[in-house]
Structure 1
Amino acid sequence: MKEAFISYSRRNKEFVWKLREAFKNANREVWVDWEGIPLTADWRQEIYQGIDESNNMIFVISPDSVASKECGVEVECALKQNKRILPILYLDVDPDAMHPEMRELPQIDFREGTNFEQAFQELLQAIDTNKKGTQEHTRLLVKAWEWEKKGRNSSLLLHGSELTSAEYWLVWSCAKIPFPTALHREYIGMSRQWATRQAKRSIIGVSVALGVSTLLGLVAFWQYQRSQKLYVQAQQEQLIVQSTTSDALFVSQQKFPALLESLEAAKTLQQANWVSRDPQLHSTISTALLQSVYWVNQSNQLDGHTNKVRSVSFSPDGERIASASSDHTIKLWQRDGSLIKTLAGHRDRVREVSFSPDGEMIASASRDGTVNLWTKDGAKLHSINAHDNDIYHVSFSPDSQIIASASQDGTVKLWSREGELLNSLTGHNAPILSVSFSADGQRLASASADQTVKLWTIEGEELQTLTGHQGEVTSVSFSGDGQLIATASQDKTAKLWTIEGEELQTLTGHKDGIWQVTFSPDSQRLATSSKDKTIKLWDREGTLLNTLTGHSSQVFGVDFSPDGQTLASASDDKTVKLWKLDNPLVKTFPRSGRSPSFSPNGELIAIASEMNVTLWSPDGKKLNTLSGHQNWVQSVSFSPDGETIASASDDQTVKLWTKDGKELQTLNGHEGIVWTVQFSPDGKYLASGSRDGTVKLWTPDGELVQTLEGHQDMVLEVRFSPDGQTLASASQDGTVKLWRLDGETRHGASLQTIEGHDAAIGSVSFSPDGQIIATASDDQTVKLWTTEGKLLQTLEGHRDRVYRVTFRPDGQFLATASLDGTVKLWTLDGTEVVTLNGHQAGVEHLSFSSDGKTLASTDKNDTMILWNLEYLDDQLLDHLIVTGCNWAGDYLQTNSPSQDICTTDGSS
């Protein structure tokens, strides 16, 4: 394999000779055609082979190379093989003369006057990016071509560890350049099918031998057992591969493919008769499916375009979707992803497509300088020769009577539906990339490559120029309520402005230029699409809500469905993806706080948030803020009647509040940070634990009842037993102490010391029946004990310290939180049921709602996640399969290879 194939014009041979010598001195091999072999079939084949066997293509940009037919053939061959192309600029050229796929690729400057050595080092760095993946791409492609050329001979398929390695590469390469080709996928897929078929044949062979030898008694019985063992082993191996593949896809942000892979594994497991004998595999598959079901956003994918998809638009009734592509076509789809019609008529790439607000028309804008108008069913009405140059954007007025077109010629033109020119807006000194009407139709905004946005009256009077972006402004959008303007730029930011043009917020987070910004129908959310392959969702204050990943290349366009529940995205990867924006199974609250506590009726969640306590509704609304502490709050707890909230703070106090925010009492007495506080079950007392190594008992009116001493280090958590007769305290000293609380005044005496962990114990919890005590430790384990201190179970599985443990209110399960960023759910016999993945930092706190259907967890980033655990029982896998099938139902119906995962009604 060579580092690169160099494509160049022979008129630039002297420069390429210098370049090759630099590679030679760096001990790098490159493929260069020096001789100018006659253009024969053998020569052509040699060129193709050179491209196939090279990890990259270096294209030397010059006027001669971009005009060369042979260089064009070489580029097309490299693109067909998904080779990574590294353009280097030797001589200036007109960008429009370059191959379309190369115009948007970063170029390394080798022009005269630049530092050759510095540029060459930049080229080597580009070559070495994802070097192993690129080498594997080439190696597997060569093997796949050999398999193809030799009639798909099964002896040339992959097997064993080489097959496993190739499958891992295929998973990870979905998000990295160079992307796998269709031949890669087919070759690796056929290899897996062949390996599975061979395993099944082995099983069948044993079974046939079993049938022939049924009269051989013990021999036959032994063969029967062996055949069953082989069958189970083959299924187990297949499920492990599928689970690993799903995990790898999930980690690489390919969450929808991860869902499909885990669904297939789960259905196989569901149908297996040996499932009860392998709880670990059951947990592994359940975890893979659960994380996909919880965190997937994509629900469908529309395939059919043969080139990049530039724009996407929902019809006003939400039942149809139109997509515009560089393949010169518009496609009209049903909401479920089935293709209705392909609209042909443009002579060049289609930049934009838009439904009219009344739903009766579709407008499309093209590089050919025309705006085409179509009926809602795809019949062509007429074509407007709108501009002499590329048209980047087209938009309807709110009453559907005016069409605005934005062009490379620096103008916005307004047209009637019949194609009559109404007005021409001039003022920008560069191409106009986007145009938008205000909600009342009285204003327009235009976004330009000159880094500005201009506001206009409908009559064409220029009102104002918005400045502030540091790059081309690629998109502008008015909010539906008429209050805001959003702009997006190649400077990687989006900005929010008042309707008068005052800048309010700058939205940062994208790693590359932003192509489009658009408001949701209710004006409460925005979506941005970027070159960085992601879509980001924001609230109207500019807070990032979610990042949608799954496209394998830059995302050009986005559009909300009329109900605001679905987002469509158009991408350079030739697909349209549909995303459901609200998943009922999980809710994320960024920067909300830590130590969540549910009110007894489940209608409030109290969270420690810096020096305050904040109250939230479970649907995500911030209701109140309780302020008064002088330092960070560490723990909060509701009283049993839900009327009082206790908070423990670094300021060495405990405060009591009404749920309406009125401060009732401040409890002073600790001589260090107060880490933990909890009410007794009857609400008459509360306990606090501190860095000072003590536990204190208080009455709600602030009276100190008793100080419990005995720990040798700070007390990290306190918990009352369900009957209120015992208090447990967990400490940095590696012990849990049980305190007997006698009499009406609740005086405490040390009852028991539980020891057995190898490090600090950060959490302790009683089972709802009071018979089991669970402890969580920095030694990465959770232990279950009797109230007499006898060890029952040690739960192992976390990969870092375990911060928290709590029982579900029904006592059937317990949840643990760890610095490894996961939450795990267990049965009381120590079986791991499922792992909840989703936090981006160590998980420190947990709290179940009183009905046990919701679990709140918070992490070191102060992100709270609410997990719907309504179906946490022995039928969990069945519930997850049904949920996953319902989520992906449209995709499974319109993509025949996946139909067998679920039945047509979405059930398993």
Structure 2
Amino acid sequence: MSLFVSYSRADTPIVRRLHAGLQAHGRETWVDWEGIPPSADWMREIETAIDAADAVVFVMSPSSLASVVCARELAHAHAQRKRVLPVVIRDAGDTPVPAELARLNWIFLREGDEFDAGVARLLEAADTDLDWVHAHTRLLVRAREWQASPGDASLLLRGRDLRSAEQWLAVGPTKTPSPTAEQAELIMASRRHATRQRTLWMSVGGVALAAIAVVGSVAILAHRESQRQEAMATVRRLAAASERVREQQPPDGANVAPAERSLQLAAEAIRRLVALGQRSFDADLALRRALQQSLEPVRSIPLPVATRLAALVVRNDGQLAWVANDPWIVARWTDAGGGTRVLTAGRHAYPDPTLSPDGRWAAAVLDDGSGRHVLAVRAVGNETPSWQVDLEAAAIGVAVAPDGTVAVAVADDRRGISRTRLIRPGDLQSRPALPFLYGPAFSADGRWLAGLLDDGGIGVWTIEAARSGDARPSRRVDLPGASKPTFSVDSQYLLVPHGEQPERVAVVSLADAGAPKVFTRNAPNSVGPGGRYWIEPDAGVTLAQLLRADTGLPLGRLLRQAEGLAVFSPDGKLVAVEQPDAVDLWRVQPQGSALVEFDAGRESMAIALDAGGSSLLALRGATLTRWTVGSADAPSTRLLGEPPERAAFSADGRWLALVQHDRLRVVDTANGGERLLVKLPRPVHDLALSPKGETLVSIDDQGRLTTWSVASGALVPAAERTASDVAHLAVGDGGGPVTLFHFEGNRRIGAVHTLRSWPMPDSIAPASSPLGRERSGFAATPCGVSPDGRLAAMALADSLVVRDTRTGADVAVVDEAAHPPLCSFSADGQWLATTGPDRTLRVWEVSTRQEQARLELQAPARAIVFAAGGTRVAVLDEEGAVRVWPLTPVDLLAQACRRMRHGMSEEDWQRFHPEESYRATCDGLTAAPGPG
């Protein structure tokens, strides 16, 4: 492990001690002790040393943070994606810390800190993922050598080195440090050279053996294979570039935000996969991550007057209302009404004009030039003011409720009186006074009034208390540094920014008196329903981020750069975004790359997808609900009698088995028709339907297994079968096996489950095999059984084993899936989904043992189901949300095309496909604009 140490000469004594400590642990360090004045040759030597090092130790102190040379060393390390390990020897104080260091975890070796423990932490950080770091360093040096002599083919990668480098590049976006452009160029050039060499040798062989037709065919196939490999290498390069650019700062003059460019690159990678008829996990993951930060564009509405907006409201149907400053402009846009209607209402003074939360009323404090302060309120769309009233003093803040009631905070400096007046449309003389509120705000339902009090607290009044003039707030929230509050669009939450620390926001639930939750995020522009999502500014990169308020994690980003307003519609499904000359409407998509999201409820017992994945079914109590994927229509519901104690769908969602007290039923989910009804002699503890609903198996409270033919209602002849303590029951169609995980005896550490599989009709003993033990000695953990009972999955310490239940042979070992709490097979056993502690759903192709998709969950999964053929997967989580994801490249590309406004730019196309003419990634999309 080699380390480059960047430091200031003022810190030489402590650096010498650190250097000695690292060398004592066998670490090779590069430290410039000579203090040579900077020169071109000297700087090249420094950069070469950084390139050759596995990591850079930046010794942080006020001296090094102010050093120009240290800044150059840090910049070069950052450009080469080197792992940087900040070691603090003296606190920075007022000295600014570069962003490249501020975002990292620091190691402290200050006076008073334990030196040996700090060195140990530094070594631990340096050794993390050491093989990856060594490969990064080796490839960076090779890339620099090749760039110095670009015509020297001997410097390119070959054979095993090239294949290893391509695999390294494919996983690079998930690693730290990430691959550099130079490394990617070296690997791509090496692949092109290898392809040309292979084609050349095949051509020579074809000439030499032209008389042998078989050899000629082989040459053609080899050429096609080389073309396929080169195409796949391009796919990997596009995917890697998509990952790299997504979080980058946009260069000067950029017309496309990084998130949008990332989506374009990943979509083009998937388009090429579709053309090849191939899959690529790297491209799939890159596009899903790009979709995570995207919304669907709806329309762009030009602003008829070039001005900055003071307030903006979007309704659920997409209608807009906005007001602007100096002059006071009130405008409304409606699709059905033929466009935009603009009213100019005159000049105004401080504060800015405002809108009611539903966009029906506009209010402003006007200044006629004579010193009068006039509060004017109008219904949006009317030609004349609805009413106006003189104020006794200057206004500091103004808000208008959905019913037109206005709260205006006035400050009379001459009399030293500051208060908030509440003025109702029908009684302009009745003005109950409340304490002075900075930034008053009404909730969208008109029930609440909130604002910042003089003493720094947040006061919240019910509208009845406010109208009565009750000076005491219905609720008071004391938050240090509180600033102007914002209501969520559904009036359930109040968000309070920290005025002195703008990156901190408190979320206050209005339904209970619990303590606010504080998140390290920017102050929001708008807050979605339930307080789950909000929009925050993200200056200089994109307009805003959608965030989940219970975790503070980002869910998506708008794709255009802007500095204006952004607001949710009341249902949270639309976002209106102010641009310099227009208002853009975007549709908020389900989380990540999910096609759709449904609320099935926390009490849901089971879910299913139909064979084509076009319908989702969920059983909640006795109610069967069916949603059509991709449709905005309300779901259909069907009552199935009393709530069942047990339930199971067939794999195609056509049939549903129910245990209701002493009755066992199988019903048709399409029409509710009853296909099987039997009376149970004993309580049932578990049951399963075969994939097509032909066979039903149950286990009673004494462990006896019973099997029925659903069509005839007859018992399937079987020998006596018992199995207590059963997990993951399954049964196949047409004579398929009954399969389960079985545990006998006392549960104790090291006890082993048995996988048992009975053929049907059951005239012989079951096939049984113990699950086995991990290397630690603990028993393996049962995970799941395929719907036809022919495959079973079990978790070991560091892998997931798939076993053939008929032969007991292990048919696949899936890596990186240690102890998943939940597994699910597709109906044909070709696909396996697993969840882990990191809240990701991984989808594996069993035959190739390869991960094909990785989906990010918002809550732990309770159930996973596939559509036929593995085209889609649905997950029911612990919050009751069901999300449906596409799994095929074709569906994923279609989803990306709905969210893209442009294809790749001409510049990007030339970079990645210089030998090809430009073609659009999606039909109807033109190339993205280049740098302006």
> Which band: TM-score by shorter chain?
0.5 to 0.7
The aligned counterpart of 2:5 is 5
Q: Map 1:597-746 onto structure 2 (within 5 A).
A: 605-607=617-619, 616-618=625-627, 635-636=647-648, 646-647=658-659, 669-670=681-682, 674-676=685-687, 688-690=698-700, 692-695=702-705, 710-713=720-723, 717=729, 729-730=738-739, 734-736=756-758, 738=760
Q: Mapping of 1:508-547 within 5 angstroms?
A: 513-515=520-522, 519-520=526-527, 525-527=532-534, 537-538=547-548, 542=550
Output aligned runs, 1:529-568, within 5 Å.
537-538=547-548, 542=550, 548=555
Q: Can you list the C-alpha shifts for 1:293-312, whole angstroms capped at 9, x where unaligned? A: 778624669xxxxxxxxxxx
1:297 aligned to 2:306? Answer: no
2:104 maps to 1:88 = no
Tell me the equivalent position of 1:193: 189
Partner in structure 2 of residue 373 of structure 1: none
Counterpart Cα distance in 2 of 1:270 and 1:596: 30
Moved more, 519-528 or 13-22: 519-528
Q: Give the whole-Å Cα distance in 2 for the aligned partners of 1:67 and 1:559.
A: 38
8 Å CA contact 1:636, 1:648 repeated in 2:
no
Alignment of 1:460-609 (within 5 A): 466-467=477-478, 477-486=486-495, 496-498=507-509, 502-503=513-514, 506=517, 513-515=520-522, 519-520=526-527, 525-527=532-534, 537-538=547-548, 542=550, 548=555, 581-582=589-590, 585=595, 587=597, 595-596=606-607, 605-607=617-619
| TM-score computed with the length of structure 2 as normaliser | 0.57
- Tell me which of 893, 901, 905 is aligned to 2:924: 905
Alignment partners' CA distance in 2, 1:883 and 1:445: 42
Contact 1:147 1:157 in 2 (8 A): yes
CA-to-aligned-CA distance 1:810-837 (integer Å, 9 cap, x gap): xxx77765668766799xxx99999675
Matches within 5 A, 1:124-163: 124-150=123-149, 153-163=152-162
Distance 1:568 1:217, change over 3 A: same
Paired position in structure 1 for 2:220 = 228
Q: CA separation in 2, counterparts of 1:603 and 1:445?
A: 46
- Whether contact under 8 Å (1:61, 1:88) holds in the other structure is yes
Residue 904 of structure 2 aligns to a residue whose secondary structure is helix
Give the % identical residues.
17
2:547 touches 2:554 (CA, 8 Å); kept in 1?
yes
Displacement of 1:134 in angstroms is: 3.8
**Alignment TM-score, normalising by the size of structure 1:** 0.58
Which of 229, 233, 253 is the matching residue for 1:237?
229
Per the TM alignment, residue 692 of structure 1 is displaced from its structure 2 partner at its CA by 3.3
How far apart in 2 are the matches of 1:698 and 1:114? 72
Structure 1 residue 243 displacement after superposition: 7.4
CA distance in 1: counterparts of 2:730 and 2:889, whole angstroms: 35
The question of whether the paired residues in 2 share the 8 Å contact of 1:294 and 1:586 is answered with no
In structure 2, distance between residues paired with 1:316 and 1:906: 15
- Counterpart-to-counterpart distance in 2, 1:735 and 1:40: 76
Deviations 1:43-97 (A, max 9, x none): 3443343434334443444444444444444444444444444443333443344
Change (3 A) 1:567 1:105: farther
Change (3 A) 1:124 1:656: same
What SS class does the counterpart of residue 902 from structure 1 fall into?
A: coil
Match of 1:309 in 2: none
Paired residues of 2:441 and 2:485 also in contact (CA < 8 A):
no
Deviations 1:386-441 (CA, angstroms, capped at 9, x unpaired): 9xxxxxxx999546969xxxxxxxxxx9799xxxx998999xxxxxxx99965679
8 A Cα contact 2:547 2:556, kept in partner? no
Q: How far is the alpha carbon of 1:497 from its aligned partner? A: 1.6
Query: Does the aligned pair in 1 maintain the 2:825–2:833 contact within 8 Å?
Result: no
Distance 1:848 1:42 in 2: 61
1:173-213 residue CA offsets vs partner (Å, 9 max, x unmatched): 43444344xxx324422431342244135425644775x67
CA displacement at 1:152 relative to structure 2? 6.5
Give 1:487 shift.
5.0
Residues 401, 891 of structure 1: CA spacing in aligned structure 2 closer, same or farther, 3 A cutoff? farther
Verify the 8 A CA contact 2:170 2:240 in the aligned structure 1.
yes
Does the aligned pair in 1 maintain the 2:605–2:618 contact within 8 Å? Answer: no
Give the match's secondary structure for 2:138.
Answer: helix
Counterpart of 1:24? Answer: 23
Task: Measure the CA separation in 2 of the matches of 1:653 and 1:838.
Answer: 39
Q: How far, CA to CA, are the matches of 2:82 and 2:564 in structure 1?
A: 25
8 Å CA contact 1:603, 1:617 repeated in 2: yes
Offset of residue 479 of structure 1: 1.3
Give the alignment of 1:388-403 within 5 angstroms.
398=355
Change (3 A) 1:178 1:401: farther
* 1:140-170 deviation per Cα after TM superposition (whole angstroms, max 9, x unaligned): 3333333334457444333433334344444
Q: Secondary structure at the match of 2:902?
A: helix
> Structure 1's 400 and 624: CA in aligned 2 closer, same or farther, altered over 3 A?
farther
Q: Distance in 2 between matches of 1:890 and 1:25?
A: 56
Tell me how large the CA RMSD over aligned residues is: 6.9
Question: How many angstroms does 1:107 deviate by?
Answer: 3.9
Shift of 1:759: 7.4
Contact map agreement 2:826 2:870 (CA 8 A) in 1 = no
Equivalent position amino acid for 1:689 in 2: I
1:276-304 Cα deviation digits (max 9, x unpaired): xxxxxx4x45x777777778624669xxx
Q: CA deviation at 1:854?
A: 8.8
Match of 1:110 in 2: 109
Count of aligned pairs: 723
| Amino acid across the alignment from 1:902 | T
Q: Give the Cα–Cα distance (whole angstroms) in 2 for the partners of residues 681 and 225 of structure 1.
A: 44
Gaps of 5+ in 1: 276-281, 302-313, 322-340, 344-352, 364-385, 387-393, 403-412, 427-433, 570-577, 740-749, 766-772, 786-790, 808-812
In 2, Cα distance between equivalents of 1:602 and 1:269: 24
Residues 64 and 70 in structure 2, CA contact (< 8 A), matched pair in contact too? yes
Q: Partners of 2:215 and 2:922 in 1: how far apart?
A: 36
Whether the 8 Å CA contact 2:793–2:803 is kept in 1: the answer is no
- DSSP 3-state at the match of 2:607: strand
Secondary structure class of the residue paired with 1:734: strand
**For residue 191 of structure 2, what is the amino acid of its counterpart?**
A
Deviation at 1:796, TM superposition (A): 5.5
Letter in 2 for 1:218: A
How has the CA–CA distance of structure 1 residues 883 and 592 changed in structure 2, closer, same or farther, with 3 Å as cutoff? same
CA distance in 2, matches of 1:764, 1:18: 60
Q: Are the counterparts in 2 of residues 759 and 778 from structure 1 also a CA contact under 8 Å? A: no
Question: C-alpha displacement at 1:7, in angstroms?
Answer: 1.3
> Contact 2:235 / 2:273 at 8 angstroms: preserved in 1?
no
Amino acid at match of 1:585: L
Q: Deviations over 1:505-553 (max 9, x none)?
A: 748xx9xx4445564556674148899x9977548xx5x79964899xx
